[in-house]
A and B are shown apart, each in its own frame.
Chain A
Amino acid sequence: MSDTSVVDAELLTKYYGRTRGIEELSFRLEPGEVFGFLGPNGAGKSTTIRTMLDLIRPTSGRIRVFGLDPRADGPAVRARIGYVPGEFGLYERLTGREYLDTYASLRGGVDRGAIDELTDRLQVDPERRIRELSRGNKQKIGLVQAFMHRPDLLVLDEPTSGLDPLVQQTFFRLIEESRDRGATVFLCSHVLPEVERVCDRVAIIRAGRLVAVSDIGALKAAAVRRIELHLDRPVPPSAFSSLASVVSVEGHGDVLLITVRGPLDEVIKEAARHTVVNLTSHEPSLEEIFLDIYRDGGSTA
């Protein structure tokens, strides 16, 4: 193991009774990186996170955070973590400010200015009672609570759920600022664009197993994309199927469905030789990327 890793999981396994949580996950987070943890709901993302915070204990395998055991050294580990759970409740009777002040004191004191700045930037009124807040505004209180003590490690489980797009942008800036001051970020999501937007590396988890850990550029390059090309007259699929980046072509008269891996450049240049009526490109879904990675049969570094 590396002494400098912020998180170091080794064959981390968790069963709930006989139900699978996660199986033999091994990965590392290096200081200052934004690490995306991508997978469908139920894949084991929250299970992984909750072992880092000692909310649940691994069945076997090992996890270290800041080189420490979250169980034996819980308070020391958790003091340096900011956490947004996937689903959480707040103390509904308190105002946002009372809630955040409580959390500040649970953490041994937090600069009041930091709280004000965050509530201001995320546009949530801290003087309102939490039970009066919308779901998105409750999510913002959860975010403020996670960022306010400037933690060395941010552990975020579907943090943008319920946030409107403008606030999501602010959230992404907060992530980037945290990275810039040297913090490490573990971002769980089932939405690819979110992970693409801010992550340096991404791990893909499915059915409790890590299917790939890759840097984000490589993942995108490996991802297949489906193009729907409308031309003004029928063109034989063979015109495109010979291109190196094309995985497959289906022709339906003057409409071609082309599956492409990597950059679209070749396909666009070929298409430009014909008269293009319309072109739509479908972002590869997570499922397609999974299938693609499965086809390649495993992980790239």
Chain B
Amino acid sequence: MKAVLVRSLRELERAAIGWSVAVAGVALMYAAFYPSVRDSAANLQTYFDNLPDSIKSVIGGNYATPAGYLRSELFSSLGLILFLVFAIGAGSRAIAGEEEHRTLDLLLSTPVRRRTLVTDKALAITGVTLLLGTVVFVATTIAGPLFDLTVPASRLVGASLMLVLLTIAFGAIALAIGTATGRRTVGNAVAGGIAVVALIVNALAVSVPALAPVKPLSPFRWYLEPDPLVSPVRPVNVVVLLAIALAAYALAVVTFERRDLSA
């Protein structure tokens, strides 16, 4: 039913505008900083070289190159955080928020099916994430050359796409936990916790060999390796991130279909 999707999108309208402005602002800000960072890149590089390997592996390569700078500053720090905070918040709120605000009883007293509701909420979050990915691509494409921050468009598309896929995966995890428990805070805490742990595992695996076997479980492994700003996107990475998202979405549908709604 189209009405559910329309309603789900309208619900995210403000968030979409707000997060787009934030993402564009952050992208522009980092682009504007680039000339001065590059000029002192030699010093920064020394600083960087002294960091532990695990931290280097997260924030990535080389401050002196545009790709290295973008990866470190935008795609694996503040930009990444903005995307994840949006998606985890929207995912855990999608169903649990309606339940906590007591709007869910009325919504599901209409002929709408539970799985339609979950699906359309998930589609709406996916849509806004795609919008944010487009914003990050457009902002870096336009602002980059103004500040000598030039990365091939194909790499920017690839990095934006991988960021979108990673974000959708975490949004779906938050959706699954929020929908299964009916509690927004649980969705936020669990999905946020998974993100932090996965990021740490991914970082420490470089220097802690014991963690190497579990590293493939970290979504960040599939997002960051190989560096999407340097190498072409690998289909297997796309597939893994999509599979995480779909599995979490399926969990959301199945648990929601089976449980009682709280009054």
Q: With both chains docked as a complex, state the minimum distance between the C-beta of A57 and any C-beta of chain B, in angstroms.
A: 6
Total interface residues on B, using CB and 8 Å? 22
A105-B6, A106-B4 known; A55 vs B113 contact (CB < 8 Å): no
List the A side residues contacting B234 at CB < 8 Å. Answer: none
**CA–CA, A88 to B11, complex, Å?**
18
Is the CB of A290 closer than 8 A to any CB of chain B? Answer: no
Contact B4 A56 (CB under 8 A): no
Contact A79 B6 (CB under 8 A): no
A16-B260, A46-B263, A55-B260 known; A83 vs B6 contact (CB < 8 Å): no
List the A side residues contacting B112 at CB < 8 Å. Answer: 75, 106
List the B side residues contacting A171 at CB < 8 Å. Answer: none
Beta-carbon contacts of A54-71 to B below 8 Å, as 1s and 0s? 111100000000000000
Is the CB of B236 closer than 8 A to any CB of chain A? Answer: no
Q: Which of B103-111, B131-139, B164-172 contacts A (4 or more CB under 8 A)?
A: B103-111
Is the CB of B210 closer than 8 A to any CB of chain A? Answer: no
A89-B102, A105-B3 known; A55 vs B111 contact (CB < 8 Å): no
List the A side residues contacting B103 at CB < 8 Å. Answer: 88-91
Is the CB of A188 closer than 8 A to any CB of chain B? Answer: no
Contact A102 B3 (CB under 8 A): yes
| B112 nearest in chain A by CB position | A106
Which chain B residues numbered 93 to 118 have a C-beta less than 8 Å away from chain A?
Answer: 101-103, 105-113
Contact B109 A83 (CB under 8 A): yes
Is the CB of A108 closer than 8 A to any CB of chain B? Answer: yes
Is the CB of A74 closer than 8 A to any CB of chain B? Answer: yes
Beta-carbon contacts of A79-105 to B below 8 Å, as 1s and 0s? 101010111111100000000001101
| B116 nearest in chain A by CB position | A75
- Pick the residue among B2, B106, B111 that contacts A79 (CB under 8 A): B111
Total interface residues on A, using CB and 8 Å? 30
Contact B111 A108 (CB under 8 A): yes
| A57 nearest in chain B by CB position | B260
List the B side residues contacting A16 at CB < 8 Å. Answer: 260
| A101 nearest in chain B by CB position | B3
Contact B101 A89 (CB under 8 A): yes
Known contacts A75-B113, A90-B103, A107-B110; can you find 15 more A-B pairs with CB under 8 A?
A53-B108, A57-B260, A74-B111, A78-B111, A79-B110, A83-B109, A85-B102, A86-B263, A89-B101, A90-B106, A105-B2, A106-B7, A106-B111, A108-B1, A145-B106
Could you tell me which A residues sit within 8 Å of B by CB distance? 16, 46, 50, 53-57, 74-76, 78-79, 81, 83, 85-91, 102-103, 105-108, 142, 145
**Can you give 24 A-B contacts (C-beta < 8 A)?**
A50-B105, A50-B261, A53-B109, A54-B108, A55-B105, A55-B108, A74-B113, A75-B111, A78-B108, A78-B111, A83-B106, A85-B106, A85-B109, A88-B102, A88-B105, A88-B106, A90-B103, A90-B106, A91-B11, A102-B7, A105-B2, A107-B110, A107-B111, A142-B106
Could you tell me which B residues sit within 8 Å of A by CB distance? 1-4, 6-7, 11, 101-103, 105-113, 260-261, 263
Closest 6 interchain pairs by CB? A105-B3, A89-B102, A75-B111, A83-B109, A56-B260, A106-B110
